[in-house]
Amino acid sequence: MSLLKIRQLIKSYKAPGGVRHTVLEVPEFSLEAGQQLALRGASGTGKTTFLNCIAGILRPDAGDIELAGQNIAIASESQRDELRAQHIGYIFQTFNLLQGYTCLENVLLGMSFSGPANTQQATALLNRVGLADRMDYRPGELSVGQQQRVAVARALANRPNLVLADEPTGNLDPQNAQEALQLIREVCRENTAALLLVSHDQGVLDQFEDCHDLAEINKAAKEVAK
């Protein structure tokens, strides 16, 4: 049974002038538990919108997004918050770490909305990503590569079934990007979490056995390409 199943997904935005502009039109998409899939897409092809709809951050205009047996598309705001807290880990291109908090606190916050925050578990995750000696550092005191690792640890903190990664290496140099990608894939595997990664970086996409063009899935992206 698929972990994530999407049918007839449509998402549009109101463009200046009042005309609605469709950015997502996905007739069908699915992801198996533990699967690691990369989606290739240029800028403006709806990569982030697609992930945000799956995460329940955006509500689609139409269609179904089934995650762990629940339809996010029709769920209430609080149900979507709950689903996100329980089942999804999100790695952002800009990391989105909370600047006023230490690395440990950032990871604790990642797990605290799905249940009681476990300091031991958060410490173990930071150890796993190689930041055992940076627990009390704030993001601003870390290198970009280290910040990315904190973001990975935080995404895994709630033991999600699905990790969404939006251009996770977009801000890293090639060396760090390679290491970060390897880490994300390993940690997801160890935690039996499925990984859905979107990127336009061919170097990243080449690492995945399972890689598709977003345009193959998103009809609206094809229109953009034309």
Partner 1 sequence: MTIWMIIRNSLRHHALSTGITAVSIGLGCGLLMSVWVVNFQTQRAFKNVTGGFDSILGPRGSQLQLVLNSLFHMDSSPGLVKAFDYRLFREKYKRFYNRAVPIAVGDNLKGYRIVGTTLELFEVEHSPGQKYELAAGEKFIQNATQWNKEAVIGHTVAVQLGLGINDTFQPYHGLNFTEGQMPHKDIYTVTGILKPSGTPADRVIWIPIEGLQQMDGHDPRFAGDVSAVLIQMSDNTTARAFGMNSLDSIYNKGTDHLTFVKSNEDVVARLFDQFAWAESVLRWVAYLVAVVAAAGVLASIYNTMNERRREFAILRALGARRSTIFSVIVMESATIAALGVLIGFGVYAIILLVAEGTLRNEIGVSLHPMEPHKVMLIVPVVMVAFGALVGIIPAAKAYGTDVSKNLTPQS
User: How many other β-carbons are positioned within 10 Å of the β-carbon of residue 88?
Assistant: 27
Distance CA 42, CA 47 (A): 8
Closest CB to partner 1 among residues 92, 208? 92
Name the one range near partner 1 by CB under 8 A: 28-36, 81-89, 168-176, 191-199. 81-89
Piece of the chain touching partner 1 by CB under 8 A; list 39-47, 62-70, 98-106, 203-211: 98-106
Q: How far apart are CA 51 and CA 102, in angstroms?
A: 27
Q: How far is the CB of 210 from partner 1 (least distance, A)?
A: 25
Site for partner 1 contains 92 (CB under 8 A): yes
- Three-point CA angle 158, 144, 149, nearest 5°: 25
Q: Do strands 62-67 and 162-166 pair parallel, antiparallel, or not at all (unpaired)? A: unpaired
Nearer to partner 1, 68 or 85 (CB): 85
User: What is the spatial distance between Cα 89 and Cα 66, in angstroms, rounded to a whole number?
Assistant: 16
Binding-site ranges for partner 1 (CB under 8 A): 52, 55, 57-58, 77-78, 81-82, 84-86, 88, 90, 92, 94, 96-98, 100-101, 105, 108-110, 112-114, 116-117, 154, 158
